[in-house]
Amino acid sequence: MGPAVTVHVWVVPPVEEHRAEASRLRAMLADDERDRLERFAYPYTRSQYLTAHALLRCALSALTDGVVAAQWRFTASRSGKPAIAAPDSTLRFNLSHTDGAVACAIADGAECGIDVEVADAVGQDVDAFAFTAEERVRLALVPNESRSPLRTALWTLKEAYGKATGEGLTARVRATTLDPSPPAGRLLRQWRFKRFAAGRHTVSLVCEPKGRRLRCRLHHVFPTPPTTGRRV
């Protein structure tokens, strides 16, 4: 087995738009990102979007020599999965946000997906939509006090898997039985996962390390990117 794939994961609170820090983060965004930011109707959704996209830029720059945060450009696949358009990079990333938390995962040369949810916020209304019969049986068999954490673990794992493959919650992903019971392990064939708590939130990470070990480094503060760098 070759060297491990290291996935850097940041889980941070959203930066409220009235804070002075928000102006600095906003300046990092591209014009299309700022346009989209303005279209959100509610302050909390604007804060989540601003924090997620500025965090991504800061994190990419912190892991890349000489590229400042505002220089990154992004594209999306036909299915909508985002990727780096410029500068050339082997880094892969994924974003997620929910009430009170923004999560960003970055892996070098390995596809990844991440999802974050408030630990007790996923209700049973998702069961019939997103879970297989086997998964619903597993939920029914656990004690009442364990059902909500298991449901959230399963939901975040399924969301992260769909985001890692680029499919989202398609019929195939929803029809795939997953086992979130251990905090880490093999998911399906080449896919591996890690699940952990971050305060009142549950985070699931899915990655394709291609036969290598999966190592996760968790961060709870914004990375500090370079302020000057090479032209790209």
- Residue 227 included in any domain: no
pLDDT of residue 3: 81
Two structure tokens written together for 215: 């190592």
Structural domains of the chain, count: 1
Structural domain contains residue 161: yes
Under 8 Å CB-to-CB from 22, ≥6 apart: which residues? 15, 16, 47, 50
Q: What's the mean pLDDT in 32-48?
A: 96
What share of the chain has pLDDT > 70, as a percent? 96
Q: Is the pLDDT of residue 210 over 90?
A: no
Q: Which of 22, 21, 29 is nearest to 70 (CA)?
A: 29
Question: For the packed helices 20-28 and 43-62, what is the interaxial angle rounded to 10 degrees?
Answer: 60
Q: For residue 113, is it within any domain?
A: yes
Query: Tens digit of pLDDT for each residue in 65-109?
Result: 889 999 999 999 888 899 999 999 999 999 999 999 999 999 999
In percent, the amount of the chain with pLDDT more than 90 equals 81
Confidence of residue 224 (pLDDT cuts 50, 70, 90): confident
DSSP per-residue string spanning 176-198: S-----SSEEEEETTEEEEEEEE
**58 part of a folded domain:** yes
Residue 231 lies in a domain: no
Residue 224 forms part of a structural domain:
no
Q: At residue 199, what is the residue type?
A: G
34 in a domain, yes or no? yes
Q: What is the pLDDT of residue 102?
A: 98
Helix and strand totals (H; E) in the chain: 7, 10
Residue range 72-81, pLDDT digits in tens: 999 998 888 9
Tell me the pLDDT tens digit for each residue of 120-153.
889 999 999 999 999 999 999 999 999 999 999 9
pLDDT at position 226 is: 61
Tens of pLDDT, residues 50-60: 999 999 999 99
- CATH number of 197's domain: 3.90.470.20
Q: Does residue 232 lie in a domain region?
A: no
Residue 216: strand pairing partners: 7
Burial of 115 (0-12, 13-18, 19+ CB in 10 A): buried
User: Which pLDDT score, from 0 to 100, does residue 232 have?
Assistant: 46
Q: What is the pLDDT of residue 1?
A: 53
What are 183-204's pLDDT values in tens digits?
A: 888 888 789 999 999 999 999 9
Write out the residue range of the structural domain in which residue 178 sits: 5-219
SS3 157: helix
pLDDT digits (tens, 9 = 90+) for 5-16: 999 999 999 999
212: pLDDT strictly greater than 90 = no
pLDDT of amino acid 2 = 65
Task: Please give the DSSP secondary-structure letter assigned to residue 199.
Answer: T
Residue in 37, 39, 32, 59 with CA at minimum distance from that of residue 47:
37
The three-state DSSP-derived secondary structure of 12-32 is ECCCCCCCHHHHHHHHHCCHH
What would the two tokens of residue 209 be?
A: 């390390």
Structure tokens at 157: 């794992």
